[in-house]
Structure 1
């Protein structure tokens, strides 16, 4: 990768597939961005680029790379593959580009004593994946025909979506008079079957009919 290619990437600004970091401070937080990119659509993590897209570089970029590679290796499960490019701006300054593909092993998650935390990209942000997103990611690794019965709870769901255009998990469970786990299972099954679209949000996901 050339400096010109890095500048072209930076000029696009942060988005679904691009994240900037000035340096690898707080690597345990930066790996969340790596996980989100791998789980969503792949993309590039640029170290040595300011929030406004200025390719200013970072002193001793090799040390930043060492910190990030250690964090990726030790904090992400399952193990995640990536490409690494180092571009020198001067004798002391450089930029690192971690190119992360959409992973066939998704969902990746943060290694933690408490619980499995996974992340996805929503526009230019990385947000924690809900249970429904997690299940859809798992089922989307191996696409296959999904067979489901179309009963009362599905009828209620499609009626509400026809009237309102969107629905959340809690709204659906309440309207159909079913437990949250069953509502979740139904929604996930319909997303995997390409009937519904799941729209991840920072607060509460919502679902729409796929056109």
Structure 2
């Protein structure tokens, strides 16, 4: 990757596959962006780029890279693979680009104090993955025919979606009068069966019929 390519990428602005960081401050938070990109569609994390897309660079860029690589190795599970490009801007500053593909080992997660948190990319933000997203990521790695029984709860679900266009786990549980775990399991199965789409959100995810 050349400096011109870096500037061209930065000019596109942050989005589904691009994240800017001026420096590697709070690496335990920045690794969430790596997890989100690898869990979603891949992309790049750029160190030494301002929020407005200016490739201003960072002094001692090698130290920034060291801090990030250490955090990636120690905090992200399973191990995350990436390409690294470190490019000088001038004699004092440089920029680093971490390039990630959509991971075959997803879902990756952050592990701190025995707590596991996974993240996905929604537009230009990284949000914590719900239980449903986690299950879909895990099971979609090995796609296969999903068998499900069309019964009362599925009938209620589809009728509700025809009327309201969208539904959450909580709403489905209440309308169908079933436990939340069963509502969750049913919706996940229907996403894997290509009947529904999941729309991850910062609060409650919602589901729609797949067109």
TM-score for both structures, normalised by structure 2: 0.99
SS in 1 for 2:116: coil
**Runs of 5+ consecutive residues of structure 1 not aligned to the other structure:** none
Shift of residue 115 of structure 1?
Answer: 2.3
CA RMSD of aligned residues (A): 0.6
3-state SS in 2 of match to 1:171: helix
Residue in 1 aligned with 2:3? 3
Q: For structure 1, which segment, 110-119 or 12-21, has the greater mean C-alpha deviation from structure 2 after superposition?
A: 110-119
The alignment partner of 1:87 has SS state of strand
Q: Secondary structure at the match of 2:208?
A: strand
Distance of 2:111 and 2:77 partners within structure 1: 6
Task: Summarize the alignment of residues 26-175 of structure 1 with structure 2, pairs less than 5 Å apart.
Answer: 26-175=26-175
CA separation in 2, counterparts of 1:139 and 1:99? Answer: 25
Q: For residues 170-185 of structure 1, what are the structure 2 equivalents within 5 Å? A: 170-185=170-185
Q: Does 1:17 align with 2:20?
A: no
TM-score after normalising by structure 1? 0.99
CA distance in 2, matches of 1:180, 1:15: 33
* Unaligned 5+ runs, structure 2: none
Rounded Cα–Cα distance in structure 1 between residues aligned with 2:71 and 2:190: 36
Take 1:187 and 1:81, find their aligned partners in 2: how far apart are those partners?
Answer: 31
Give 4+ residue runs of structure 1 displaced > 4 Å after superposition. Answer: none
Aligned residues: 211
SS of match in other structure, 1:46: strand
Distance 2:115 2:205 in 1: 20
CA–CA separation in structure 1 for the residues paired with 2:113 and 2:57: 35
Could you tell me how far apart the structure 1 residues matched to 2:34 and 2:116 are?
15
